[in-house]
Structure 1
Amino acid sequence: MAGWISLHRKLMDNPIYSNANMLKLWIHCLMKATHTEREQLVGNQMVHLEAGEFVTGRNSLFDEFNKGAKKDEIISSSTLWRWLNRFEEWQMLNIKKTTKFSVVTVINWSDYQGAEQQVNSKWTTDEQQMNNKRTADEQQVNTNNNVNNTNKDNKDNKKEPSHKQVYDEDSEPFILATFFYNQILKNDPKRNKPNLQTWSDDIRKMMEIDKRDKKEIGVLMRWVQQDDFEKANVLSPSKLRSRYTALLLKMNNTRPSNVATFKPPVYERSTTNEQPDDRGRNGEHTSPFGNVRLYK
């Protein structure tokens, strides 16, 4: 396979940029995609491919991705396929599945990759022109930056980093996020599935920033979905985090009702037949219904 692909700088803002193997898988998809419309023989079937498409499967993807990898660096086929489906959820590609293979389409391929690879001499000329224009633009930007440097620095200091962390399904935040969603489903089976990556990030903040214990978080998640009032109000980790202290105090102060532990006094009828007056010789209370002894 010859030729080249383009990588846009916007990739640095994508969640996969913080995961080396997911980034490698995305680059693999870009390199596998065809630049031009063509036909490809797959087994005994001819498959028509548009620009930006390629044919793959679990076994072929596993072999190609792990080529030359050390034993402890090999990524399983199930993990690779899960990541590929996650790319589809993030609208980076589409997967058309058949019983024998899958056709993957990279979304917006033509916007970022352009036409087929160009002749080296023309590429060199274009690159030189681009570099010259870039130099002039950078000089203008530097001049503007010198004038507004102080204001820009102040604004940049207030900005939060755009870096987004990706949580694997076996990570503690993702496990807790899934657990909380399952607790909500017990009360609302038709509840739409949330963005578990966003939920996982809120849970990570509880553990790392707020220093909350993961077991305590899980207990509180179960409790809020069992409480008659809170189960309708706390439906996300962000809400749980914002009210964490109040909810924890409420959970810890919850006690069984006093009615459950109250025992009424026991009354027992006397076996004596003596009824000399309102109070018998042996201290029994008398009434038209017989003698009754009170035990406290």
Structure 2
Amino acid sequence: MKGAFQISREIFQNDIWNDPVKFRIFFYIIGNAVFSHDGIEHAGMHLQRGQFLRSLRNLQDDLSYREGRGNSLKKYPLTTIQRKLKSLVKDGQITMKRTEYGTLFTVVNYATYQSFEHYKKESVEQKRNSDGTVTEQRWNNNKNVKECSNKEKEISSSRGSENPFEFYQQNIGVLKPHVSESIGLWCDDLSDEIVIAALKITVKNNANSFSYTESILREWANSGLKTVEDIRAYEMDKKDKKQKQNQKQNKPQSIPTWKQAQEVPKPKWMDNNQTHEDFEDKELQAAKEEAAKVKALLEEKRKKRSG
């Protein structure tokens, strides 16, 4: 698709800027929406200005991205895309309608975005600081612009000084875009507190890798853990099981009675494969010979004394 479109700089002050996935979806839709005032014919349908027709499966492919050393192609889960689209609808930024050819997206106030007159009326700074303007109503769904719309600051103000993004930067390293995006997705799927708990375990184990953190989060998600309390109980139970397993492995093993019996020294008569009777005969003969020697010795001494 060729051509150009306009977008207000106020997008940088809107909450959507801090949600990479949501921003990419909205930017892709508005960038591909029909620009022509008369609309166009597409797939047997008449698309009006500001509309875009696409199936969710194709949209998933359109939003694919490359990541990592291997430059592997990755895609957002359909459930994530659907959740972000619903959020855009709730914010009053788009509308959605299912058709037999796909989903029909309509950008709310598209004409206002593309009108030069709109941007000539007042500077971006004046529009950002004023209340109740058309642009602010469009971006904030008839709510006043918050002075601090940054997602990290919102999390910080609601929970104190800790939030996943700041914790990562302070304890693990530079917060790269793909890591920030992943953190945001996990926060949506689980909670900010749970993500922080996983990051703390990562730091405690000197892993310092978000891949390690994600392995923890997957384990918790697959185990159906929903709260920090559930996770504490789960980790304590896992620790107890590990300790018991180690104790079992380190415990000295007792020798069975039957094995002890095998290790009792054999009697002398069992040497050289002789029978018990043979051994007794040899012992008796040796005793007789020893007695004869002693008798002969005594007899010899007696004779010497007599002589």
TM-score (norm 1): 0.41
* Structure ranking higher in helix proportion: 2
Larger radius of gyration: 2
TM-score between the two structures when normalised by the length of structure 2: 0.40
